[in-house]
Structure 1
Amino acid sequence: MKGLLFDLLFYAILIFACIYVLPNYVIQRTIVDGSSMADTLMDGENLYVEKLSYRFDRLDRYDIIVFYPYGRDNTEYYVKRIIGMPGETIQIIGSDIYINGEVLEEHYGKEPIADPGRAAKPITLGDDEYFVMGDNRNISKDSRDKYVGNVSRENIGGKVIFRVTPLNRFGPID
C-alpha cells in the first residue's frame, strides 16, 4: 500500500511539473503571428521558447526573443531579434543601423529600412534595455515604434530556440 501511495504522489508531482512548471517557467510553445520576422520565421510557425537561462545569463545580439511590449500584464507578445544591447546607443541613418557610432554589419534585414522611426535620432539604452527589430524591417512594429520602444529585461518572456512546424523547417533557430 505504501508503494502505491508513493507512486501516486510521484506521478501527481510529475504531472504537475509537466502541466504547470515546464510551460510557465522552463519552455513554452508559441506561434508566430504575422510576417515581421520573415524570412527567418514565417506566419503560423510553431516555436519553442526557452524561458529560464536568459534570467541567469546574458542575451546576445541577434538572439530572437519573445517579449511583452505593453508589460507582462498584457497577453500580447512579439517575436523579434535583438539588435541593440544594454548601454549602447542606436541610430538608423538611411538603411544603416549604427551602434555606438559604428555601422552594424548584419545580414538579417530582409530589405533596406524605409522608416527609422524614433531611431532617426540617437537612442541610448538603459542598463536593462534592448533594442529589437523584425527581420522584415518595413512591416515590423518594433523598438523603432514609439509605442513599443526599448524592451526592458523584465518584459522578456524567453529566447526562441527551436522551430517545431512546419516539418520541412524543423530544427534549431540560429
Structure 2
Amino acid sequence: MDFYHSEDNNKLRHVVNWIVDIVVVIAFAWFLVYAYGTQIVIAGHSMLPLLASEDVVFMDRLVYDFGNPDRFDVVVFQREDQKMNVKRVVGLPGETVQIKNDGIYIDGERLKEPAGPGRISLAGLAEKPIKLGAQEYFLLGDNRDSSEDSRFANIGNVSRDQIQGKVWFRMLPLVKMELIRSK
C-alpha cells in the first residue's frame, strides 16, 4: 500500500485543509471588524439632516493611517472629555477660517458648500479669523444652529491625533441604511 495515496492520509489532508480555511476566514473577519466595524451611536441632532440622534454608523479606523481627512469628510473625533463626536471637516491644516455674513471663509474666500447646511447664525470663536496649525482641523456639524463644534472653546480646533476615523456607513435604522459619502 502506498503511503501517499492511502485513504487515511486523504482524510487527514482534507481535515487540515478545512482547518486552514476556517483560520483564514476568522482572520479576515477579525480584520474587517477591526478596520470597518467600529460602531458609533449618534447623540444629538448636530448632524441633521444627514445623521439623526440614535442612528448607528460604522467608522473606518484605518483610512487615516494612509492619508489625512479631506474637506467635507464626516469624521469621528475624541473630545478632551473623552466623548466621541461626529462632525464634518471644513477647515484643513494651515488654512485660516472665519465665519461672517452667514458663510464660511477659507483664506478669505467664501467656501462653496454643496447643498445642505445653510446659514450660520452664530460664528462663535470664528467671528475672528482662526489660523489652523499644521495638524489642526476645523469641524462643524451640518445642523449649524444646533451643533457644539470648533466654533466653541470647549471643542476648538481639533488635532489630527483626536480624529479616530471616517464615518462610512449608516447601519441603523434599517430603513435608512446607506453609505455615507463626503459632499
Shorter-chain TM-score above 0.5: yes
Alignment partner, residue 144 of structure 1: 151
Residues 16-95 of structure 1 aligned to structure 2 (within 5 Å): 23-70=33-80, 74=82, 76-95=83-102
% same residue? 38
The answer for unaligned runs of 5 or more in structure 2 is: 1-11
Partners of 1:33 and 1:108 in 2: how far apart? 24
- Aligned residue pairs: how many? 170
Secondary structure of 1:118's aligned partner:
helix
| Amino acid aligned to 1:77 | M
Computing the radius of gyration from Cα coordinates, the structure with the larger value is 2
| CA-based RMSD | 2.3
Checking the alignment, whether the CA contact within 8 Å between 1:111 and 1:138 is kept in structure 2 is no
Partners of 1:170 and 1:29 in 2: how far apart? 14
Q: Give the structure with the larger helix fraction.
A: 2
The answer for unaligned runs of 5 or more in structure 1 is: none
Q: Which runs of 4+ in 1 moved over 2 A?
A: 1-19, 21-27, 107-111
Cα deviation for residue 110 of structure 1 reads 3.1
TM-score by length of 1: 0.84
TM-score by length of 2: 0.81
Which of 93, 117, 129 is the equivalent residue of 2:124? 117
Alignment partner, residue 133 of structure 2: 126
Cα deviation for residue 23 of structure 1 reads 4.8
